[in-house]
Amino acid sequence: MTTVISYEPLWQTMKEKQVTTYTLIYKYHFSPATITNLKRNMSITLYTMERLCKILDCQAESIVKFLPDPEDPEK
């Protein structure tokens, strides 16, 4: 079974912690390409996940969730 990555928890956590994508890029030196990957629900490295968790003082489940792929024929 395949899964779909969703960073919806990240955007909510960032809003609660008052951290913007601008802050991630200019204060924490995140690549704009990494931000684009997050916005497009694409994969990121564990290093990036760890950095986000430290910056936002949270656990991984506050950043990403994995959903079943609705188009997966094995479902």
Q: What is the pLDDT of residues 2-52, one digit of tens each?
A: 668 999 999 999 999 999 999 999 999 999 999 999 999 999 999 999 999
* pLDDT value for 69: 73
* pLDDT value for 28: 98
* Alpha helices for the chain (secondary structure H): 8-17, 21-26, 32-39, 46-56
* pLDDT value for 59: 97
CA torsion sign for 47, 22, 41, 37 is negative
Contact 32, 25 (CB under 8 A): yes
Listed by start position, the domains of the chain span 3-68
Q: Which residues contact 12 (CB under 8 A, 6 or more apart)?
A: none
SS3 3: strand
In terms of pLDDT, which residue wins out, 70 or 43?
Answer: 43
Beta partners for residue 59, in sequence order = none
Q: Looking at the domain that runs over 3-68, which CATH code has it been given?
A: 1.10.260.40
| pTM, 2 dp | 0.85
